[in-house]
Amino acid sequence: MKAAVTGRTTDTRPVSAPAGPGLTQAEAERRLARYGRNEVAPPRPTPLHRRVLAQLRDPLITVLLGAMLLTLAIGDHPDAVVIGLVVVFNTTVGVAQEVRADRAVAALSALSAPHARVLRERTPHEVPAALVVPGDTMLLGEGDIVAADADLTEASALLVDESLLTGESEPVDKSANDTVSAATVIVRGRAVATAKATGSASALGRIAALLDTGREPTPLQRRLASLGRILAAVTISLCVLFFALGLARGLTVSTMAVTAISLAVAAVPESLPAVVTLALALGARRMAARNALVRRLPAVETLGSVSVLATDKTGTLTEGRMVVQHVWTPSGSADVSGSGYEPEGDLTRAGRLLTPVELRPMQELLTAAALCNDASLRQPRKPSDAWTAVGDPMEAALLAAAARAGCPDQAALHEACPRFAEAPFDSVRKRMTTLHHLPDGNVLVCLKGAPEAVLTPTVLAEPQGLLDRARGQAALLAARGFRVLAVAGTERLVWDRPAPEAEHGLGLLGLVAISDPPKAAAATTLEVCRAAGITPVLITGDHPATAHAIAVRTGLVEDGTTGEVLTGPELAAAPDTDLTRVRVFARTDPQQKLDIVHAWRARGAVTAMTGDGVNDGPALRQADIGVAMGARGTEVARQAADLVLTDDELSTVVTAVEEGRRVYDNIRRFLVYAMAGGAAEILVMLAGPLLDLSLPLRAGQILWINLLTHGLTGVAMGAEPVGPQAMHRPPRPPGQHILAAGVWQRLLVLAAAVTTFSLIAGVAARAMDLPWQSVLFLALLAAQLGVALGLRARLLTTQNLFLPASVAVSALLALAALHVPALQSLLDTEPVGWSGTGLATAAALAAFIVARLLRGAFHGKARS
């Protein structure tokens, strides 16, 4: 294991005066014109008219536009206007959500470093990173984001975080003549580098070029397209049938044409697009309030179909911060509590605090680690903020552990033991040594490094048995996924030779086990995923032992199992491996991430992929749902994603999945309601003549019923809260029809019930010498409103008062149709009295009861 420790540097000045003068400003401008700006070309903004046309090409919108043309053909301009408003509403909301999401993602781009320091005409300049050109001399210091692919000409104790490109969370040490890539971060040290590739020619640009701009339809879009085709065929067939039967009974062509077209409008749930859009928009709004930014509305519903969640490790399952969790000394070991870089915590053994005698060797170990250290901890400015690390995260973890052990703080240590010499870490020696003056005039030597570079007789003056015991302990800790450092030290009377020559004859102080611990909620989040039928898969560029350890600690795999980790090289050597049988992947490259996504999709799974790095971009694009991290993610990842997590928490994905299921449940609930009502209207018109109700309803009455039931009330159903069991059922099969899993049966039974109760009310009204057609009109409308309330997942909830309010308004407008003179004349209705109103109320109550019973009967098949 390579220890991530390096030499001291805390400023960002150049290593030395660079040998060359850098480019002239005129030459830089010429190269900028030749090579272009140093940025990955953003996706071209979609023109507004293309966004609108994309919304209008939706199959159900097409059916709705056809229905609007039919209403215009029969002269029903008010209903045509209503349908047109629904189309406008749907299109406006859909386009507005996409534009708003794109703007929000653009704002997140400000998280990226916008400037670079370059040498121009022997003078350092800070310029926008987009203006860096090939040949520029870049001055790199701690915390800088590298602006372009470059060759290092000078480097001092340089440590580079390449995780955004490689997925490997451990920083990499670099020296002169090495290369650095665009978008990587300087963790430690200083360097001078010559830019060699910018923009699309850089490593970042090459990976971004893998992104496919084409997108496949989402599961919801496919299901609604299929439904639109079925509705169009059924509507035309029923209209032709009804028209023919009417002519056979001797009714006029004009009467039957108007009525058949009215039935066509009734058969199409024209508010479905509005319900879908409202449900998706409300879902996106709820997600945004809970730190999930939806970039495309259909992605809300697709989340509800997710059956595989492919997650990365660093910062998603783990905290993304180094923490010392275990220390070992020749006299004993201890566990270290505490999180992040906060100095609060304890050292315990077997669950109890260490005694002062037991704690002393631990303090000696951690004091040496704190002295042989170039990081620092930054105290939070506000109580709500967290402690942060300045410098190498691994060294910062050592400082936090020293504070938890009760060691003096770093400033006090350096004041008492000032450093006067050092041998920085490099990839050959794999260790770092510092020399300090002690108050008594002696010299303290502190050394830390990789176990294989420290636990040797050439460095330590210890018995072979102790060295073997320490090596065995280091191997055990490494197998558990820890990064292990060995720490040694000694006192000398005097030292006037170079620091590297002090690396012999030292005493072993112990081992430090460091990890990026899993987030507290990670295990619970994955358990919720499994309860919801979602298979979690870990894909990381990290070491397989580290990946396996995190997978075990989060419950992604069981401890003791073998063969559950597949590495990228193993996958390359055996390309025919069934990738869907593996749950943990390590050392993967961008193409292999794509292969994993494709393998699951080939099995029919709906995949969600999380990622933050440039290397994650292609897989985020190809997954059904790409989930990018907003706080620490790259612009490439955010642009490729459908969902951006502003809090970088995996639990937010689970929240989004629940919201997606709620949206889909509401859409299916509306379909049961609206299509059952439309079918009941057609059945009433077909069965009425068999009961001597020659023309059960007039065209205007059908359209009025349709307007009140499919309009305000139908749209309100899209805002229903999530069902109590939404996350305790498996995801829907991706090929499942939107009306499958019991929905067809419920729809038909409800249609038959509404038809029966309405016809009974009509026949009873005729027997009671009441205006039977008006009673039938009122009963059919009231029964559908009863179904709307009966299908609620939470009957008495106050979360969506819009639905009961809209039912009440629709009921009042139904009564207005019988009592307002203008509506009486338009709809050819008349008052029905208390008896007629009672019959309609009875029909509504009976329909409500049937809807509640049916909801319970189908509860196990499809909760909607």
Give SS3 for 133.
Answer: coil
Residue 11 CA to residue 21 CA, distance in Å, equals 22
Could you tell me which of 692, 846, 853, 695 has the C-alpha nearest to residue 756? 846
First to last CA, the chain: 53
Residue 750 to residue 713: CA distance in whole angstroms: 17
How does DSSP assign 244-299, residue by residue?
A: HHHHHTT--HHHHHHHHHHHHHHHS-TTHHHHHHHHHHHHHHHHHHTTEEESSTHH
Tokens of 311: 């997650």
Q: How far is it, in rounded angstroms, from Cα 666 to Cα 830?
A: 36
Alpha-carbon distances, residue 307 vs 194, 605, 642, 717 (angstroms): 47, 6, 16, 26
Task: Please calculate the CA angle 501-507-511 and round it to the nearest 5 degrees.
Answer: 110
Q: For residue 852, what are its two tokens?
A: 């509640």
User: Which amino acid, one-letter code, is at 192?
Assistant: V
Per annotation, catalytic residue among 144, 173, 312, 392: 312
Which residues lie closer than 8 Å to 576 by C-beta, 6 or more apart?
A: none
Helix (H) or strand (E) holding 390: strand 388-390
Closest CA to 234 of 789, 565, 564, 679: 679
3-state secondary structure of 42: coil
* SS3 label, residue 347: strand
Q: Which structure tokens are listed for 622?
A: 């190809």
In the chain, the largest separation of any two C-alpha atoms, in whole Å, equals 121
Closest CA to 607 of 585, 625, 586: 625
Name the nearest CA neighbour of 328 among 374, 373, 361, 352.
361
Which residues make Cβ contacts (< 8 Å) with residue 463, sequence separation at least 6?
none
Please say whether the beta carbons of 317 and 521 come within 8 A. no
Instruction: Give the strand order in the sheet containing 308-311.
Output: 292-294, 643-645, 625-629, 607-611, 308-311, 535-539, 584-586, 565-567
CA distance 682 to 697: 10
Per-residue CA distances from 538 to 19, 534, 704, 753 (Å): 46, 13, 55, 50
CA separation, residue 259 to residues 74, 84, 239 (Å): 9, 20, 9
Residue 727 in tokens: 């996350």
DSSP bridge partners of 197: 149
Q: Do 627 and 97 touch, CB atoms closer than 8 A?
A: no
Residue 817 near residue 829, CB atoms below 8 Å: yes
284, 359, 392, 432 from 485: Cα distances, Å: 46, 19, 14, 11
Active site residue 102: no
Distance CA 101, CA 643 (A): 10
The answer to whether 298 and 220 are in contact (CB under 8 A) is yes
Instruction: Say how far apart CA 117 and CA 497 lie, in whole Å.
Output: 37
CA nearest neighbour of 61 among 674, 642, 69: 69
Q: How far apart are CA 693 and CA 702, in angstroms?
A: 15
**Active-site amino acid positions:** 312
